[in-house]
Amino acid sequence: MDNPKDLSPLAKGDIEIGKALPFAIFDRGGVLLLAEGQAVTSQKQLDELAAKGLYHNPRWATKFVIQPGKQQIDSSTLPRMLPAKQSFEDPFETGSQLKMFAHGQAKDPFHVRLIGSIPLAAIVITHPMRDGKCVFTKEGQVWDFQATYGLSIYRFSSMIEKVLLSPHPLIVMSWPHETHLESQAIRRARRVNCDLPASIRLAGSKSGDAEPTTAVIDNISTGGVELLFAKAVSLKIGQTISIAFQIILDDRKYVIECDADVVSKPRDSGPASSSYGFALRSLSDEQFAVIHAFVSDRLIHRLGPQLYSK
């Protein structure tokens, strides 16, 4: 058994099926799962190991370097879009989550993702779904949208220009006119999209009491995170969990371990997946600084192309 405090979390994408491991794999409690030199022989075995938590000790894996951005997520349960290099504080950033309402109504929203946009021309979104089926839509309909981005919440109206059901259900919406776009500041800390693997367990439980659950951090700020679970997870508002994840800055790895409270269940929740919003608690000054630096770095990368394109 290794000391759990010395372990760093791994993503499924860091492990190649059929290839000898260059490091030993441990679960959240530090119990050895596979020794260095052994291999994961199937996707099923990898999924079973991931359910127990995937960790390694960086001190014994000096020849192995985790490359950020290579984690693999099952697109059928946790869809992720490639980040777009768009304008700073842009609610139409690719991958943004939108709430879609029938025009004039504010109840029973559909949760969709922004696939992409043609500035001042059109936006493309995933088709609204209910009970696994496409909701009836037709060209010419006007829908209302709400997007939370950066420090603000945005609301706008848009008209359906084209409904595409094949090969994937998508909708092309008209670009909202300036008079149909409004925003309101609701946050004190900026939030950015990301794909960070994380390990979750109920706060206060010991490593042997309950198996940790793996998840992906979909977006993060110094105040909170949104987690995507690849399976249905039942959590209550106000419930506290312990979360562990790794941030890489300039090739240096920082492990963040802290408690977090459930504050929302915003979207993508169903029989095959779950999504929750969490408020981070008890961050140390160093952990706060690392997350702040990570968020700032992501924002600078989005802003950079705009600065040099002028």
- What is the value of pTM for the model shown? 0.44
Higher pLDDT, 276 or 97: 276
Task: Please check the confidence at residue 207 and state whether its pLDDT lies above 70.
Answer: no
Contact 147, 112 (CB under 8 A): no
| Segment 70-111, tens digit of pLDDT | 334 343 433 333 333 333 445 566 777 788 888 777 677 888
213 strand-pairing partners: 200
Query: What pLDDT band is residue 256 in, cutting at 50, 70 and 90?
Result: very high
199 strand-pairing partners: 214, 244
| Segment 104-163, tens digit of pLDDT | 776 778 888 888 888 778 889 999 988 888 999 988 888 988 876 655 677 888 889 999
Query: What pLDDT band is residue 290 in, cutting at 50, 70 and 90?
Result: very high
Contact 72, 12 (CB under 8 A): yes
